[in-house]
């Protein structure tokens, strides 16, 4: 079952360093649109967990997944990882993000 899938994790600080080194890093934000609009990382698309749950997203490369606190991103990573995709959960989510955000 997908919920037993182990996932890779990264801290928000580690993600910031990776993003500074590679601005084209593939990151998705899986929060609901209302929360996303209140503040998100620049150039990071909103792909809600509900859409991913229905099979509406298939990453084409290694993808870093962020949400509000790290819960939905972990569920997303478990689901996608079980399907064979290379995904990394961002621990702490936007609550721990100290980098630039836009509204």
- Residue 93 neighbours by CB distance under 10 Å: 22
Catalytic pick from 67, 80, 87, 94?
A: 67
The verdict on residue 102 lying in a domain is no
Residue 73 resides in a domain: yes
Domain range for residue 59?
Answer: 2-96
pTM as predicted: 0.94
For 85, what's the count of Cα atoms within 13 Å in the CB-facing half-sphere?
A: 23
Tens of pLDDT, residue by residue over 68-96, are: 999 999 999 999 999 999 999 999 999 99
Per-residue confidence at 1, pLDDT binned at 50, 70, 90?
low
Residues 81/5, Cβ–Cβ less than 8 Å? yes
Is 67 considered catalytic here? yes
Mean pLDDT on 49-64: 94
Domain membership flag for residue 49:
yes
**CATH number, domain with residue 89:** 3.40.250.10
Specify if 58 maps to a domain.
yes
So what's the pLDDT on residue 2?
Answer: 64
Instruction: Kindly state whether residue 77 falls inside one of the protein's structural domains.
Output: yes
Phi, psi of 102 (to 5 degrees): -130, 155
Quote the mean pLDDT of the chain: 94
Total domain count for the chain? Answer: 1
Q: Is the pLDDT of residue 98 over 90?
A: yes
């Amino acid at each position: 079952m997908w919920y037993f899938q182990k996932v890779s994790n990264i801290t928000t600080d580690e993600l910031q360093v990776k993003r500074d080194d590679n601005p084209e890093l593939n990151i998705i934000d899986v929060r609901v649109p209302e929360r996303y609009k209140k503040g998100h990382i620049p150039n990071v698309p909103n792909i809600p967990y509900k859409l991913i749950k229905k099979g509406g997203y298939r990453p084409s490369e290694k993808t870093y997944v962020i949400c509000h606190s790290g819960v939905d991103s972990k569920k997303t990573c478990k689901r996608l990882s079980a399907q064979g995709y290379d995904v990394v959960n961002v621990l702490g989510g936007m609550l721990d993000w100290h980098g630039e955000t836009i509204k």
